Structure 1
Amino acid sequence: MVLAGDFYKPMIRAQPNNVVAIGEEVTIICEGPSDAQKFYLFKEGNPRSKILKIYEDTEEKEFFISSIESHNAGQYWCNYKSPAGISKNSDTLELVVTGKLPKPILRADPGSVVSRGNAVIIWCKGAMQTQICFLHKEGSPAPLDQQSPRGTLNNAQFSITSVEKNHAGQYRCYCYNSAGWSEGSDALELVVTGVYQSKVSLSAQPSPVVASGGDVTLQCSSQERYNKFILMKEGQKSPWLWASWNANTGVFQALFRVGPVTPNQRWRFTCYGYYVYNPQMWSAPSDHLELLVSGTLQKPNIWAEPGSVIACDNLL
């Protein structure tokens, strides 16, 4: 909190975000002390500033743009006037206006579900002649990183050498070339497992041996108070099923109905627990559970030679 009378550099931010699509709304907020009399908003290349007079005591003033156009993109800063004089300029805010180019494609390699401590590469594939791409994480006011595409595939590479829980979340990327900015990519949800060390157990009810074409119930449970559970099937990069149910016994568990089970694929599962307020942070995995499909081979034949009736003397 800034006390009245403090003479300091103001803070500038954009709400809801500094990356805005054409036609959307954005509010640029300049924060200063309560004795500020006027706030001034500046834009690079624009000789005129927007001035907002203060009529009530407050520590921030808002500059509202109701419908963003491409010419609104650029660098902004602000300052204020108080009885002590004109303040220092704020840091620069980069307002990015997207929508001129097709949205890039965002993906994670080897996948979007990553064990804590492992490495992951996030690829952003832009349009032809892309010059630079920016990676944004939901909730962060500024881009996490910027990279130029490599090679002829227009892929920008963003590497995380050791994933930690703060990397969990939703990501988007934006790319730029001489024609302007792209739309934002579809969101990539990066999940970090092993954030919570209380493991969960996975079992099949009534048995992991299932007749071909039949169903089975998988039970994922934990003594930890997880309020959501995820079931993943080997070979699929995203959760296959999810559900939640808390038993009265004090064991927190989820029941998943799986089927029909067929012999032409592998039915190997792992489950995780998590909390609804941190949906991209999962527990350590359960042990693997593999279903065995019965009835997939012909019933064997059994016979005796020379016959099934044998004289007692022949047994001696």
Structure 2
Amino acid sequence: MTSTLTALLFLGLYLSQTTSTQKQILSKPIIWVKPNFMIPKGMPVFIWCQGTPKAIEYQLHLEGHLYAQQSPKQLERRNTVMFHIPKMTLLTAGQYRCFYRIKELWSKPSDPLDLVVTGMYDTPTLSVHPGNKVISGKNVTFSCRLDTATNKFFLLKEGRSSQPQHRYGNIQVEFPIGPVTTAHRGTYRCFGSYNNHAWSFPSKPVKLLVTEGVGDTSLVPTEHTSFSEPWDTYLLATEAEFQQDPAFWDHTAHNILQIGLAFLVLVALMCLLVDYWLCRKRIQEQANRASPQECRRRFRTQRTLDK
């Protein structure tokens, strides 16, 4: 009995410490943008921040300063809020992070989200050498030129996982690529920039077609190309996929742990009750067996006294 009560005490203390620790550590939220991290000047953009169902307030920070804040409006989506930027400008381009609050505690900041405003400078010219139709294994070089002097150029290949390459230069830079494979097939554009968050208009698209070999005449790109004209209908209308929230899974794991501990405590209490019931039953049975014997002893004693 004493060992069981001691075990219950330790379980209760552990559960209390776990809950206290969880309250002090709030996982970072997830941040993403729709329709794309590159937004033409004057066009709207939506930034999403995903925390936990218990969050009561969200904040969006731009370059380390508070930009907007709001509370969840729908009970069924309390773990996600949307921040709307009506028009993208130089003032709204930059690095964003978001936070959420549970009671008086604020979460860690989300990973950074860099938003770029395009259409701020003249249009560059993009070309590829020796040509846009090459055999796999060869080398190609993209050349981007912007007559208006700049200090940085970006080359972007369309694709969900594509990341822009960059090189420094004033008027023209080259992006060597190779040996190429069919994975390099796709549509490319380049941009000029004075900083990481303000880019020029995009160049006209250049489609690179890579064949498997001399005998293979297939020039169909492996990636779907969806650049649209004009640019104001958005370049790369690719939406960020909805991501599962690590904070959500942290809280779920914690809740499962709490349920498991509560179940163990309940089982221990049930064992105590069963043990107590069995003990009472044994005592009652012993008492019942002892009663007739006691009566016979008293009867014999009484007869002896009468004689």
Distance 1:291 1:162, change over 3 A: same
Q: Distance in 2 between matches of 1:153 and 1:231?
A: 39
Distance 1:177 1:279, change over 3 A: same
Is this contact kept in 2: 1:101–1:179, CA < 8 A? Answer: no
Deviations 1:67-123 (A, max 9, x none): xxxxxxxxxxxxxxxxxxxxxxxxxxxxxxxx7311111111122111122221100
Q: Distance in 1 between matches of 2:145 and 2:97?
A: 34
Q: What residue identity is the alignment partner of 2:159? A: G
Q: Distance in 2 between matches of 1:219 and 1:265?
A: 16
Q: Which has the higher helix share?
A: 2
1:145 aligns with 2:69: yes
Q: Distance in 1 between matches of 2:105 and 2:92?
A: 29
User: Which moves more between the two structures, 259-268 or 172-181?
Assistant: 259-268
- Tell me which residue corresponds to 1:166: 91
For 1:90-239, list aligned pairs within 5 A: 100-138=25-63, 140=65, 142-148=66-72, 150=74, 151-152=76-77, 154-178=79-103, 180-196=105-121, 198-236=122-160, 239=163
For 1:271-286, list aligned pairs within 5 A: 271-275=190-194, 278-286=195-203
Q: Distance in 2 between matches of 1:260 and 1:153?
A: 49
Q: Distance in 1 between matches of 2:169 and 2:191?
A: 14
User: Which moves more between the two structures, 205-214 or 236-245?
Assistant: 236-245
**TM-score normalized with structure 2 length:** 0.58
Is this contact kept in 2: 1:147–1:157, CA < 8 A? Answer: no
For 2:154, what is the secondary structure of its paired residue? strand
Distance 1:135 1:154, change over 3 A: same
Distance 1:101 1:290, change over 3 A: same
User: Which moves more between the two structures, 206-215 or 181-190?
Assistant: 206-215
Q: What residue identity is the alignment partner of 1:232? A: L
Deviations 1:225-249 (A, max 9, x none): 1110000001146633111234xxx
Amino-acid identity (%): 37
Structure 2 unaligned regions, length at least 5: 1-23, 218-307
Is this contact kept in 2: 1:149–1:157, CA < 8 A? Answer: no
Q: Distance in 1 between matches of 2:180 and 2:42?
A: 34
Q: Which has the higher strand share?
A: 1
- Tell me which residue corresponds to 1:243: 167
Q: RMSD in angstroms over aligned alpha carbons? A: 2.4
- Tell me which residue corresponds to 1:292: 209
For 1:165, what is the secondary structure of its paired residue? coil
Q: What residue identity is the alignment partner of 2:165? A: L
Q: What residue identity is the alignment partner of 1:168? A: A
For 2:175, what is the secondary structure of its paired residue? strand
Q: Distance in 2 between matches of 1:237 and 1:224?
A: 30
Is this contact kept in 2: 1:229–1:272, CA < 8 A? Answer: yes
Is this contact kept in 1: 2:156–2:163, CA < 8 A? Answer: yes
- Cα distance, 1:162 vs. partner? 2.4
Deviations 1:234-287 (A, max 9, x none): 1146633111234xxxxx111101233223563210100001xx3200000000
- Cα distance, 1:153 vs. partner? 6.5
Q: Distance in 2 between matches of 1:121 and 1:259?
A: 37
**TM-score normalized with structure 1 length:** 0.56
Q: What residue identity is the alignment partner of 1:207? A: G
- Cα distance, 1:296 vs. partner? 4.3
Structure 1 unaligned regions, length at least 5: 1-98, 247-251, 301-316
Distance 1:298 1:215, change over 3 A: same
Q: Distance in 2 between matches of 1:299 and 1:182?
A: 55
For 1:213, what is the secondary structure of its paired residue? coil
For 2:185, what is the secondary structure of its paired residue? coil
- Cα distance, 1:205 vs. partner? 1.6
Is this contact kept in 1: 2:27–2:108, CA < 8 A? Answer: yes
For 2:120, what is the secondary structure of its paired residue? strand
1:262 aligns with 2:181: yes
Distance 1:268 1:180, change over 3 A: same
Distance 1:264 1:258, change over 3 A: closer
Higher relative contact order (CA closer than 8 Å, sequence separation 6+): 2
Q: What residue identity is the alignment partner of 1:271? A: C
- Cα distance, 1:145 vs. partner? 3.2
Is this contact kept in 1: 2:57–2:71, CA < 8 A? Answer: yes
